[in-house]
């Protein structure tokens, strides 16, 4: 697994052949410290999520699957406007506009 860090001022850049030579030397020294599974393959890193993280992940996926617009609500408003039943509370609208104006 290769890990690359960028933006570090004291890190030297090396080309591929230099890196493979260093890896060969380091591999001979640290071969005994490398975790090996049966069959001679390298062990893989694993990550386990906590119960809370799993819950958050499932809720996030449910939220991502919701539509951006509630089309049922849009249809209700369209029908109310078309039939003349849609009432606008002008006082509430004015108060909301004034409160939004104070944010800027």
pLDDT value of position 9: 47
Q: Could you report the per-residue pLDDT of 47-103, keeping only the tens digit for each? A: 887 888 889 999 999 999 988 899 999 999 999 999 999 999 999 999 999 999 888
Delimit the domains of the chain by residue range. Answer: 71-101
Could you report the per-residue pLDDT of 3-14, keeping only the tens digit for each?
A: 555 554 444 555
Per-residue model confidence (pLDDT) at position 31: 45
- Band (pLDDT 50/70/90 cuts) for residue 36 is low
pLDDT at 104: 78
Give exposure, 73-90, as e/b (b: 16+ Cβ within 10 Å).
eeeeeeeeeeeeeeeeee
């Amino acid at each position: 697994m290769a890990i690359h860090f960028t933006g570090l001022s004291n890190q030297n850049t090396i080309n591929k052949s230099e890196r493979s030579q260093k890896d060969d030397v380091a591999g001979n020294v640290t071969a005994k410290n490398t975790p090996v599974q049966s069959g001679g393959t390298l062990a893989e890193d694993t990550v386990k999520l906590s119960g809370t993280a799993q819950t958050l992940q499932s809720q996030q996926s449910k939220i991502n699957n919701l539509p951006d617009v509630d089309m049922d609500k849009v249809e209700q408003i369209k029908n109310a406007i078309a039939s003349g039943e849609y009432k606008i509370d002008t006082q509430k609208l004015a108060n909301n506009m004034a409160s939004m104006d104070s944010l800027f």
